[in-house]
A and B are shown apart, each in its own frame.
Chain A
Amino acid sequence: MTENSLDTAGRRAAVDKASGEGAAAPTLASEGAPGAVDDAHSSRVASPPPGGRPPRPTLGRRAAALADSLWRPALVLVAFFVAWWFVAAREYVPNYLVPTPGQVWTTMTNQWSELARHTMVTLYETVLGFVLAAALGLATAVAIAYSRTLDKALYPIVLFAQVIPKIAIAPLLVVWFGLGLTPKIILAVLIAFFPVVISGVAGLRSTDPELLDLSATMGAGPWRTFRKIRFPNALPHLMAGLKVAVTLAVVGAVVGEFVGASEGLGYVLLLANGNLDSALLFADLILMSAIGIVLFVLVEIAEALLIPWHASRRVGVSLTTS
């Protein structure tokens, strides 16, 4: 067994090195400890182990790990940027189709106050849509996971509803709810709802049946079992669903704005398109993507705080592997 745990520690150390973490040594020492104490235990010597658990990575090391995971995609991005600049500046493609990065930058700075206002509108719709989708999705998932009747009644409908192209509902929503924020938020909710339900149901159903047996012999009611066992156990699945949902919520909000709006990045995009203002169009696209990225990272951070124990989060901090 000692051999076994040392082996694991060795592999872990190798991974740490590969990801640029220099802190393999303390991890290895304390990882080896359980086996060692296990064997020494028969003599009932209460020798204190060197350390109960591997130390949590420090902030500096986390930053190093983050930098390590980011430099490759950053390099690709820079290469793409240079290629774009080259093609646009040499006018291999006319500027009214592809503007230079400089033109996009100028547009963005010149019209910043306007663009910022529209960004805030879209951000507001997205966040509200996402939060509502998360709450409704989780509630539906709980209902489906706990009740056989509701499972049979709701699950097929949820699946069927996903087949309806929700973008096609957008015009109807505008007719019903007008040109305000409501139809955009509803559309964001409709699109982001599905991944939350699916991941929530999968997570809640993945509880080890032995844990449920155990909980029954502990005399715990359904609420305690949910709070202490089933919900935390579902979190890794649920967080994965929420990450998908948050990016979809942006799509919902923007599409809602396409159909009928007087503000928001979707509205600006249509305007720029009509005026063949490609610089504004590019600036707008960059802002939309920024919303998606920022929200995605926020959910990532929430995940890191909520489930640091999960296997997917154990080695380093990485945005690219999750």
Chain B
Amino acid sequence: MSTAPAATGTAIGMSGVTVRFTTRRSQTTALDDVSLDIEPGEFVTIVGPSGCGKSTLLKIVAGLVTPTSGEVSLLRRPVRGPQKEIGFVFQKAALLEWRGARANILLQAEMRGMDRARAARRADELIEMTGLTGFEKALPHELSGGMQQRVALCRALLHAPPVLLMDEPFGALDALTREQMNAELHRIWRETGTTVVLVTHSIAEAVFLGTRVVVMSPRPGRIIRTFPVELPAHRDYAQVMSDPRFDRLATELRGLLGSAAANH
């Protein structure tokens, strides 16, 4: 943890990251010797079985969990403590029940002490971009799951973070809404150029969104393989689904994940 891996150009750098949780009874290794470098503007998706430490990986990048050993850097600075240069989206939208959609998005600005007028303009842009227009004042319980997750996404993007971390953001949505959200996230990524790391259970989601897919093993979590996704940068959902390259990669991933689970 003493020196940062100062590879120029990396948005996120991890080398030899190991995390052990010690409980009263036992010690579990959540992540074992994970090394991963992510370039700026990449969209890296991480797939793996439940409990493989995918979420822990994101929390390490965010500085919310300190690794037992190994080095982590964000934007070429070593990660120590919670990082501010990121946007975080969870599986649950984690909205404040008492605030309307717009006020929930603006929480980001209030907590950071951002300039009010600028934040308000930016919030309105994001609301427009994600189709929340007309629901600015709606409380979370008045919104559908998809709409709630849009609000959470806007909140994570309000301060235009260079890095966006997403922990199974669409896991709780129905299939149709999920496809829509995937298409929208893809568009937002193209428009903003943000570096994105997205953890998912869905192979289709991982391949459709990612420029690179990282496959992890069951606990202790290790990186089994990394696949570059050879699909155009500008993707259309229906086209990608019928693209033979998508099929080939999805089948390969499914096989790999299946055997990884079986070997365990």
Interface size on A, residues (CB 8 A): 40
In the complex, A210 Cα to B143 Cα: how many Å? Answer: 20
Q: Please name the residue on chain A nearest to B84 by beta carbon.
A: A219
In the complex, A52 Cα to B62 Cα: how many Å? Answer: 34
User: Which of A62-70, A117-125, A132-140, A303-311 is the contact stretch?
Assistant: A303-311
Q: Given A48-B134, A52-B137, A309-B139, does the pair A211, B94 have CB atoms closer than 8 Å?
A: yes
The answer to whether B111 touches A37, judged by C-beta atoms less than 8 angstroms apart, is no
In the complex, A38 Cα to B174 Cα: how many Å? Answer: 12
Q: Given A1-B144, A34-B144, A218-B108, does the pair A48, B133 have CB atoms closer than 8 Å?
A: yes
Judged by a CB distance under 8 angstroms, whether A22 is at the interface is no
The answer to whether A53 touches B144, judged by C-beta atoms less than 8 angstroms apart, is no
Contact residues, B108-144 vs A (CB, 8 A)? 108, 110-112, 128, 131, 133-139, 141-144
CB distance from A143 to the nearest CB of B (A): 23
Judged by a CB distance under 8 angstroms, whether A215 is at the interface is yes
Which B residues lie within 8 Å of A35 (CB)? 144
CB distance from B83 to the nearest CB of A (A): 6
CB distance from B106 to the nearest CB of A (A): 11
Which B residues lie within 8 Å of A309 (CB)? 97-98, 139, 141
Which B residues lie within 8 Å of A214 (CB)? 88, 90, 94
Partner of A34, one of B92, B135, B174: B135
In the complex, A42 Cα to B182 Cα: how many Å? Answer: 11
In the complex, A215 Cα to B84 Cα: how many Å? Answer: 10
Q: Given A34-B143, A213-B88, A219-B82, does the pair A53, B180 have CB atoms closer than 8 Å?
A: no
Judged by a CB distance under 8 angstroms, whether A228 is at the interface is yes
The answer to whether B84 touches A52, judged by C-beta atoms less than 8 angstroms apart, is no
Contact residues, A1-47 vs B (CB, 8 A)? 1, 4-5, 31, 34-35, 37-39, 41-42, 44, 46
Q: Please name the residue on chain B nearest to A31 by beta carbon.
A: B142
CB distance from B51 to the nearest CB of A (A): 18
Interface size on B, residues (CB 8 A): 42
The answer to whether B136 touches A210, judged by C-beta atoms less than 8 angstroms apart, is no
The answer to whether B142 touches A216, judged by C-beta atoms less than 8 angstroms apart, is no
The answer to whether B144 touches A213, judged by C-beta atoms less than 8 angstroms apart, is no
In the complex, A219 Cα to B111 Cα: how many Å? Answer: 7
CB distance from A16 to the nearest CB of B (A): 15
Judged by a CB distance under 8 angstroms, whether A229 is at the interface is yes
In the complex, A32 Cα to B92 Cα: how many Å? Answer: 22
Q: Chain A binding site: helix, strand, loop or mixed by DSSP?
A: helix
CB distance from B114 to the nearest CB of A (A): 10
CB distance from B184 to the nearest CB of A (A): 8
The answer to whether B97 touches A52, judged by C-beta atoms less than 8 angstroms apart, is no
The answer to whether B133 touches A53, judged by C-beta atoms less than 8 angstroms apart, is no
In the complex, A309 Cα to B110 Cα: how many Å? Answer: 21
Q: Given A46-B131, A49-B134, does the pair A220, B112 have CB atoms closer than 8 Å?
A: yes
CB distance from B138 to the nearest CB of A (A): 5
Contact residues, A195-250 vs B (CB, 8 A)? 208, 210-211, 213-220, 224-225, 228-229, 232-233
| A–B Cβ pairs within 8 angstroms, 25 of them | A1-B145, A1-B174, A34-B144, A37-B134, A39-B176, A42-B183, A44-B131, A48-B134, A49-B134, A52-B134, A52-B138, A53-B138, A53-B142, A210-B92, A211-B94, A217-B82, A217-B83, A217-B86, A219-B82, A219-B112, A220-B111, A229-B96, A309-B97, A309-B139, A314-B141
Extra inter-chain contacts (10) besides given A37-B135, A232-B96, CB under 8 Å = A31-B142, A42-B180, A52-B138, A213-B82, A214-B90, A216-B82, A219-B84, A219-B111, A309-B97, A310-B98
B interface residues, Cβ below 8 angstroms from A: 59, 62-64, 82-84, 86, 88, 90, 92, 94, 96-98, 100, 107-108, 110-112, 128, 131, 133-139, 141-147, 174, 176-177, 180, 183
In the A-B complex, the 7 residue pairs with the smallest Cβ-Cβ separation, listed nearest first, are A216-B82, A218-B111, A220-B111, A49-B134, A219-B84, A309-B98, A34-B144
